[in-house]
Amino acid sequence: MIQAIETAATFLDSIVPLTIADPEGLQLIGIVARVTTGNHHFVSVDATTGDVRACAIVTSRGLIMCPTMDAADAHALGLLVASTVPDLIPEARGPKASLPAFLDGYTSKHVTAKVTPHHHLLLYVLNPAALPTNVNVIGGRTIAGAAALATAEHKSLLLAFMTRFYDEVGEPSTPSAIEASLDAQMARHGMYVWLVDGDVVACAGHSAPVPAPDGSFALHRIMTVFTPEAHRGNGYASALTASICHALLALRDGPPSRLMLFADATVAAANKAYQRIGFVQKSEMITARVETTEA
């Protein structure tokens, strides 16, 4: 049974058991519910026990379903979202097994909507024991350079990198949105660069931490990992990602860090690079774009 939840606070309280069971799978929903407003929140409730078994959130950027949403609930959710959310959602993301059911329900109400498959993403979780101790030697290969926190002097170059990153992954954005995102990351010391002979050859960042409900750890997501084409194939992104992992694991001003990231399933090189530094696949999700065919 799908229910709408009015406030973010009530929604976050209701999904605590889901977050404890699968913190990585709930990371995106949790952080979006905390930092954005004007969202629509939904939970799937077991009619017999009253337990919350799945959840979803709809923002101005679209729908996010949690990994435990099954096909029957996803279809019911599609019908409810179509009936209660006024605007057409631009994107939907969720489990590979159940997102099609959501889209079937949703488009049965929005008959002029056109659905286009977009991304197939793999969710990885870091095994700290497998993280290379020396980030300049990964998989038996020596990698030149060193990581550094991004500073104001790097900003113009990073804006160009981020513009190219969003273009390559096919995510619509605007210069102002990219700059705002970069400024936020830099303000909380969440953006890094990889330097070789003083030149920036790659960049990567991490999300703000999402605390575990019981305070036992803080979950960080590695994100916006980018190497310009001229510098690819040298291991810079692997080394930089490993460096960021070491920095986050070394934090002592809060609970221990737990690390995750998403990777495009179609980019074999990136997946192998993450696996080499200790990331282990946990689940997968797909995304689809939704647009109207009305003139």
The residues that bridge with 220 in the sheet, in sequence order, are 259
pLDDT of 253 > 90? The answer is: no
The pLDDT, as a whole number, for residue 211 is 87
pLDDT in tens, 191-220: 999 999 999 999 999 999 988 888 999 999
Pairing of strands 91-95, 62-65: parallel
How much is the average pLDDT of 212-241?
94
**Which CATH code, of 3.30.390, 3.40.630, 3.30.70, 1.10.3470, is assigned to 2-121+286-292?**
3.40.630
The pLDDT, as a whole number, for residue 94 is 97
How much is the average pLDDT of 74-96?
96
How much is the average pLDDT of 244-250?
97
How much is the average pLDDT of 152-162?
96
The pLDDT, as a whole number, for residue 254 is 85
**Cα separation of 18 and 42, whole Å?**
13
The pLDDT, as a whole number, for residue 281 is 96
pLDDT of 230 > 90? The answer is: yes
| Cα-to-chain-centroid distance, residue 28 | 6
The pLDDT, as a whole number, for residue 294 is 75
CATH 3.40.630.30 in the chain, residue ranges:
128-277
The secondary structure element, H or E, covering residue 179 is: helix 175-187
pLDDT of 295 > 80? The answer is: no
Cβ count within 10 A of residue 205: 25
Q: Does domain 128-277 have CATH number 3.40.309.10?
A: no
The pLDDT, as a whole number, for residue 161 is 96
Widest Cα–Cα separation across the chain = 64
What does pTM read for this prediction? 0.89
How much is the average pLDDT of 154-172?
92
Share of the chain above pLDDT 90, in %: 88
If you average pLDDT over every residue of the chain, what do you get?
94
Q: Classify residue 38 as exposed, middle or buried by CB count within 10 Å of its CB (0-12, 13-18, 19+).
A: exposed
pLDDT of 169 > 90? The answer is: no
CB 103 within 8 A of CB 288: yes
pLDDT in tens, 53-63: 999 999 999 99
Q: What is the CA radius of gyration of the chain?
A: 20
pLDDT band (50, 70, 90) for residue 36: confident
pLDDT band (50, 70, 90) for residue 237: very high
The pLDDT, as a whole number, for residue 147 is 98
